[in-house]
Amino acid sequence: MSQVATRKAPAGMLVKQAGPLALIQDAGRFGVGHLGVTQGGAADWISFRWANWLLGNEPNSAALEIVMGGGLSLETECEVHLALTGADLDAQLDDKPLAPNTSFTLTPGQRLVFRQPRQGLRAYLAFPGGLNAPEVLGSRACTAREQLGGLHEDGKPLKVGDRLTWQGDAPAVKQLPDSQALRMPATECRLPVVLGSQIATFSGRSLFQAFNQPWTVDNRADRMGVRLTGPVLNGSLTGIISEGIPLGAVQVPPDGQPIILMNDRQTIGGYPRLGALTPTACAMLSQCLPGTKVWLTPVSASQAQDDYRQQLTVWREV
């Protein structure tokens, strides 16, 4: 009588307690917008890339995006070297504080816990070679609205009992200079905006208000969009023919309160727009807690492009 050998699950890291939102993310899902599929990917793409850089990973390697912390608890079954960047979520390694923007080693049985935000909103945890997860439409990124990506290909956050495994072994450990890490917003920050084609349809008073006083990040904020509260913006358009929506688009719906569309946004929209945040500004906004004051600052498209190119190349020069 033949016997079927029992295959042992590979050693990895177990989710002992699930926080409010811990998602597997990579750079995102591109080339599928015509299908109505959004880009997804790491909201703070700068911290995400630095987390992979610390381990010598490819910059698009899948990592864990941890929002708020909220008690997320991970226990390792084997020795592993990880990297942590982005927000300070009061991470604790066996009850000892763990600072962001660093790499560290865990041995079997050690537990990594994320508590509450101390500065910033999203932390990124990178693994050797990147996390294992099925590719869906060319990406491992979780998008909850479309139920794509992640460990179970359903776009859902980690849950108790999930096991994380990774693709590499011994990483090339590096040290991140303080000057390169994205500065987490404290009580206020400036967000550069490239002005859009509908900017002239807003009243002069509304344009002055939009760019000369702070807005407040509302608690109605997620990976789809971030609502800003402040003066009511008025214009001659109440709606437009739906058109493609870029990352960081600053839409103004009929209530006059801007909504900045983020990684999990819809692919088309019909509200007039002030313009779009630069990619660096999107990363910064993703780290703003509700109540943070933000200033919208107009910049040229060439300035935004130069800044983006610099962010894409600087990790090669460090």
pTM score, whole prediction: 0.94
CA 257-224-152 angle, to 5 degrees, is 165
Buried b / exposed e along 55-76 (16+ C-beta atoms within 10 A) = bbbebbbbbbbbbbbbebbbbb
Q: What is the pLDDT of residue 8?
A: 62
226 and 158 share one domain:
no
Q: Per the domain annotation, does 182 fall within a domain?
A: no
Give me the CATH number covering residue 280. 2.40.100.10
Q: What is the pLDDT of residue 249?
A: 97
Q: Which positions ≥6 away from 55 have C-beta within 8 Å?
A: 81, 82, 83, 103, 126, 127, 128, 168, 171, 172, 173, 174
150 and 210 share one domain:
no
* DSSP track, 93-137: ETTEE--SSEEEEE-TT-EEE----SEEEEEEEE-TT-B----BT
| 113 and 137 Cβ atoms separated by less than 8 Å | no
Q: Round to whole Å and give the CA distance between 151 and 163.
A: 9
Q: Per the domain annotation, does 44 fall within a domain?
A: yes
Q: Round to whole Å and give the CA distance between 209 and 215.
A: 10
Q: Which of 131, 164, 197 is the last residue of a domain?
A: 164
Structural domain range at position 43: 13-164
Q: What is the pLDDT of residue 2?
A: 44
123 and 192 share one domain:
no
33 and 159 share one domain:
yes
39 and 78 share one domain:
yes
Closest to 42 (Cα-Cα) out of 123, 151, 116, 100: 123
Q: Round to whole Å and give the CA distance between 57 and 205.
A: 49
Q: Per the domain annotation, does 3 fall within a domain?
A: no
Residue type at 120 in one-letter notation: G
64 and 109 share one domain:
yes
Per-residue pLDDT tens, the chain, 318 aa: give them: 444 445 566 789 999 999 889 999 999 999 998 999 999 999 999 999 999 999 999 999 999 999 999 899 999 999 999 999 999 999 999 999 998 999 999 999 999 999 999 999 999 999 999 999 999 999 999 998 899 999 999 999 999 999 999 998 877 778 887 777 778 888 899 999 999 989 999 999 999 999 999 999 999 999 999 999 999 999 888 778 888 999 999 999 999 999 999 999 999 998 999 999 999 999 999 999 999 999 999 999 999 999 999 988 887 766
Q: Per the domain annotation, does 172 fall within a domain?
A: no
Q: Round to whole Å and give the CA distance between 172 and 41.
A: 24
Strand-pair category, 63-67 with 119-126: antiparallel
Q: For the CA atoms of 113, 116, 117, 121, what is the dihedral angle to 10 degrees?
A: 70
Q: What is the pLDDT of residue 9?
A: 66
Q: What is the pLDDT of residue 1?
A: 42
| 264 and 253 Cβ atoms separated by less than 8 Å | no
What are the helix (H) ranges across the chain?
A: 45-54, 204-212, 279-285, 301-317
156 and 205 share one domain:
no
Residue type at 147 in one-letter notation: Q
292 and 208 share one domain:
yes
Q: What is the pLDDT of residue 180?
A: 76
| 173 and 81 Cβ atoms separated by less than 8 Å | yes
Show the tokens assigned to 138: 């060319």
123 and 234 share one domain:
no
Angle between helices 301-317 and 45-54 (to 10 degrees): 10
Residue type at 60 in one-letter notation: N
DSSP β-bridge partners for residue 243: 269
Q: Per the domain annotation, does 6 fall within a domain?
A: no
144 and 237 share one domain:
no
- In the chain, the number of structural domains is 2
Q: Which positions ≥6 away from 281 have C-beta within 8 Å?
A: 191, 192, 193, 248
